[in-house]
Amino acid sequence: MTQRITILPEIITNKIAAGEVVERPASVIKELIENSLDAGATDISVEMAAGGRRLIRITDNGHGMSRADAMLSLERHATSKIRTDSDLDGILTLGFRGEALPSIASVSRFRLATREPDSLEGTEIIVEGGRVRDVKACGMAPGTVISVEQLFFNTPARLKFLRNPETEAARAADSVLRMAVSRADTSFSCISDGRELLRVQRGDLQRRLDQVLGRDTSGRLHAVESSIGDISITGFISGPSIVRSTTSGMFTYINGRFVRDRVIQHAIMQAYRGVIDRGRYPVTALFITLPPGEVDVNVHPTKHEVRFRRQPQVHDALQGALEGLLRRSPWLSGERQSPRATTIASTGQAYRERIAAAAQASLQMPSGAKHPTFPGRTASYLKPQEASSTSQAPTVGESAEPFEQETSSAHQRGYFSSLAVIGQFHAEYILCQSHDELVIIDQHAASERVAYQRLKQQCRVGGVESQRLLFPETVELSFTEAAAALRFQTDLARIGFELEPFGGTTIILSAVPRLTEGTGATQLIRDILSELNQRGVSAAFQDAVDELLSRIACHSVVRGVHPLDTMQITELLRSMDETDFAASCPHGRPVSHIVTLVELEKTFKRR
Ligand code: ADP
Ligand code: MG
């Protein structure tokens, strides 16, 4: 008999775990800050040297640990945060796996010093490459100080993988920044090689964003506050004038935890579709709270990804909340953040309360309403009353408006009608005055947006009309596309595509939406099918319909040079006021451009 299998010693299993949790200095910092926050710290400072390779030191004023706990904390799977299997479904802390400290200590020279507030002295533990070298008493302020020196000194492969110190320091600072945005009730500082990269004091979210984004940006964000059923969404988002070429300005949090999640990102970008150009990203600080049992954070060791039990609902709630705000184009009329904004607190207490409230709400929901239907995407098949009767009444904010009524009362302010028309320039632009601003309107983009919103409304009422093809088309699909085609055959018919399986992965397309006018229908159906596979039915259909409508809108309005008389201009401006998302054409190009008096004066050197 041969024995091939042995159980690995803990020093090796910790190193293996470190491979997942500790990728680089930034991940060490993330884990340690999470621990400090979980320990109730209100002041956290991070120091590093050589991009965190030589030294990372995190000092907090949290509740600290007793000597026994400090020893235990270095054992694998040792945690104070969960105890039973069922606790896994209701995680309120950032950590719970009990892996970070032993992992980090196994790949560095590690020093943990910690003191509980009511104890006279602290405990210091020195660990080298996972081996405890020394444990002794030490004098220190209450709280915890963890120093990580020579990270990866015993894992040369990992060490080689690190980038230069500046890059690592920048990533580490990003890590601190994300935590800082999530917890305005805690002060943070981050010092790298003696240089201060970040220092923020305790305050509210508004103030925190001023500090981390700069007032120029933060002062032009708009507050979102919305809740549907047990999902609540709060925070700030930018209008089309503040965009970035990467997602670096997008801070999104689920139950207080920073996530980079595909579903969340998609919902945000859907809401901004037609508001900002493709390939541009908004600035957001969004906090999504839902009952902890609804979201599984135990998907990946770094917990940056999550899994939602009701993914389409979260997606649609978020998209709906943002659309509720964006469709009003609040940046046009100078509408700034709502006063409520200041009450949006990103504090540990606020999270816990909100999460608890969400859990409570989900318990109290009548069983039939456990899965509320969110107006917006899924609602294309539902009348507004049906949609809202299955969802809990929204408590606050934008989503209280029925999403269905896009061309509704949202624009009674009449920004465009209030403009004093100066005239037309080049038969392409309308020039207007509003107080001390010169407003230039691209008439093509404006009429395109009006046409698009009107078509959308018509489509909602009458559905998508389809047109039989004279010669049915045979379309070769991939295996997964073909499966989706079969599964969603009836739904596809609803948006005008009639198709039948033709053996193997081939389908026959016999009718297409009239709106496509025969062009690109095959490509469109492919796009829809692959979307259907990736995401929920509702979102994919809405996309398809929107795509169709924006194509026709673009072709249905006059392009280029087109003289307009005053009546036509007034009519266009009035229609703009009845139109949602009026600030940009359906492709995301801006509809208007403002030149302020100050800018003009600067041009003429009067200032
Ligand atoms: P987890 O955070 O998943 O519980 P860790 O390995 O990160 O696992 O930490 C282990 C335990 O050590 C924590 O559960 C906590 O009780 C304790 N701990 C870690 N860091 C701190 C800290 N800064 N202050 C107080 N206790 C801490
Ligand atoms: Mg932890």
pLDDT tens per residue across span 409-450: 334 458 888 899 999 999 899 999 988 899 999 998 888 888
CA-closest candidate to residue 98, choices 23, 38, 181: 38
Angular region, 576: left φ>0, alpha ψ -120 to 50, beta rest: alpha
Cα–Cα distance, 333 to 272 (Å, whole number): 19
* Residues contacting residue 361 through CB under 8 Å, at least 6 positions apart: 229, 230, 291, 392
Does 59 sit in the ligand 1 pocket, CB within 6 Å?
no
- Ligand 1, atom 18, lies closest to the CA of 35
**For the CA of 77, the nearest ligand:** 1
Sign, CA dihedral 511-512-513-516, equals negative
What length is written for the chain? Answer: 607
Q: Residues with Cβ < 8 Å from 477, sequence gap 6 or more?
A: 485, 505, 506, 507, 526, 529
Task: Determine how β-strand 420-425 pairs with β-strand 143-149.
Answer: unpaired
Q: Which residue has the higher pLDDT, 591 or 412?
A: 591
**Ligand 1 pocket residue status of 60, Cβ below 6 Å:** yes
What pLDDT is stored for residue 384 in this prediction?
Answer: 29
Distance from the alpha carbon of residue 98 to the mean position of ligand 2, in angstroms: 6
User: For residue 73, which ligand has an atom nearest its CA?
Assistant: 1
Q: How far is the CA of 100 from the centre of ligand 2 (A)?
A: 5
**Residue 392 pLDDT:** 35
CB atoms within 10 A of CB 562: 14
Residue of minimum CA distance from atom 17 in ligand 1: 73
Q: How confident is the model at residue 152 (pLDDT cuts 50, 70, 90)?
A: very high
* Most informative mutation of 56, 73, 92, 179 for ligand 1 (most atoms within 8 A of CB): 73
Ramachandran area for residue 30 (φ above 0: left; ψ -120 to 50: alpha; else beta): alpha
Q: Whose CA is nearest to atom 16 of ligand 1?
A: 80
- Angstrom distance (rounded) from CA 430 to CA 424: 4
Q: What is the rounded CA–CA span in Å between residue 288 and residue 354?
A: 10
Q: Which of 108-122, 206-220, 520-534, 573-587 has the largest mean confidence?
A: 108-122
Q: How far is it, in rounded angstroms, from Cα 548 to Cα 278?
A: 17
101 Cα nearest atom in ligand 1: 6
Is the pLDDT assigned to residue 92 strictly greater than 60? yes
Between strands 143-149 and 437-442, the pairing is unpaired
CB distance 35 to ligand 1 below 6 Å: yes
Here the tokens at position 512 are 């297409």
Of residues 211 and 560, the one with the higher pLDDT is 211
Whole-number CA gyration radius for the chain = 28
Provide the whole-model pTM. 0.69
Instruction: State the burial class of residue 241 (Cβ atoms within 10 Å of its Cβ: 0-12, 13-18, 19+).
Output: exposed
| CA separation, residue 459 to residues 59, 134, 135, 393, 513 (Å) | 59, 73, 72, 26, 11
Residue 116 beta carbon below 6 angstroms from any ligand 1 atom? no
Distance 94 CA to ligand 1 centre (A): 10
**What's the confidence (pLDDT) of residue 290?**
92
* CB of 80 closer than 6 angstroms to any ligand 1 atom: yes
CA 96 / ligand 1 centre spacing (Å): 9
Domains and CATH numbers, the chain: 10-199 (3.30.565.10), 207-326 (3.30.230.10), 338-386+393-399+409-607 (3.30.1370.100)
Ligand 1 pocket check: which of 38, 298, 303 to mutate, most ligand atoms within 8 Å of Cβ?
38
Tell me what the pLDDT averaged over the chain comes to: 81
Cα distance between residue 565 and residue 397, in whole Å: 40
Cα–Cα distance measured from residue 530 to residue 507, given in angstroms and rounded to the nearest whole number: 15
Distance 145 CA to ligand 2 centre (A): 14
Residues whose CB falls within 8 Å of the CB of residue 497, separated by 6 or more in sequence, listed in order: 466, 509, 511, 512, 513, 521, 525, 528
Burial class (CB within 10 angstroms; exposed 0-12, middle 13-18, buried 19+) of 288: buried
Q: From the alpha carbon of 60, which atom of ligand 1 is closest?
A: 23
